[in-house]
Amino acid sequence: MAEIAKVGVIGAGLMGNGIAHVAALSGLSVVLMDVSQPALDKAMATMSGNMDRQVKKAIITAEDKAAALARIATATTNDGFADCDIVIEAATENEEIKKKIFAGLVSVLKPDAILASNTSSIPITRLAAATDRPQRFIGMHFFNPVPMMKLVEIIRGLATDDATAAAVEALAKRMGKAPVAAGDWPGFVVNRVLCPMLNEAIQALMEGVGDVRAIDEGMKLGANHPMGPLELSDFVGLDTLLSVMKVLHEGLGDPKYRPSPLLAKYVEAGWLGRKSGRGFYDYSTSPPTPTR
């Protein structure tokens, strides 16, 4: 398989613009697609601002920034993916939405193009079955914030061939990431371990074992975690955490993965964490204040 030179990214949100950011800085041509032009405009402004911070820290030069942004084209349809070597889907963590996206892609892509999903929990074999190229379908799970986090989980589906896995591993390394192979089980490695811990912290909060501050400070000071589990849940997004826990619970069938009722209630209220301004902390204040 030829070296990947042009990357498509679906979704201009937090993960999508982060993937486009690191791909463009690594010298790759990028097509960033979203159905919303305002979302694309916001993504370009976000990438520019994030690169400015990298310039100030002497991680990149102003020339690097200008060249990287010039490599990124935006689109509101799939037509721009026609000559991409790989397309990475970074849409919301919803299986039906992802399958619908892949169904709309297959007629546009060249026959040897790779399809990758940035899913954080949904089995790759199941997603691959919704496409015309399960042998060239793979999981490429980046972590937030993408420009800073080194890890990328590489998840092969049942049909993923060796050439696809090798090409995607090489791509991750070119983008400055450390690829780690993960098995195609719900949650893969990191979220299989991390999300149940966050869910348990929320359950402990619901049961009155401790308040927000006690739980977060306890884990930071007692387990040497850089961020408390409730603060981290807000950072991840409570809706995303709930989706992952549902995938784990349904896919593995063990009651220990049942989402905490308090997590579900916060999502129902629209209290999704940092992105909504309120979760286990109220982000309208500085510093944020616990809500329970």
Task: Based on the residue annotation, tell me whether 225 is a catalytic residue of this protein.
Answer: no
Task: Based on the residue annotation, tell me whether 249 is a catalytic residue of this protein.
Answer: no
Task: Based on the residue annotation, tell me whether 120 is a catalytic residue of this protein.
Answer: yes
Out of 93, 153, 169, 231, which one is annotated catalytic? 153
Out of 21, 118, 121, 141, which one is annotated catalytic? 141
Out of 17, 117, 121, 191, which one is annotated catalytic? 191
Task: Based on the residue annotation, tell me whether 141 is a catalytic residue of this protein.
Answer: yes
Out of 120, 121, 199, 233, which one is annotated catalytic? 120
Q: Assign 86 to helix, strand or coil.
A: strand
Q: List residues with catalytic annotation.
A: 120, 141, 153, 191
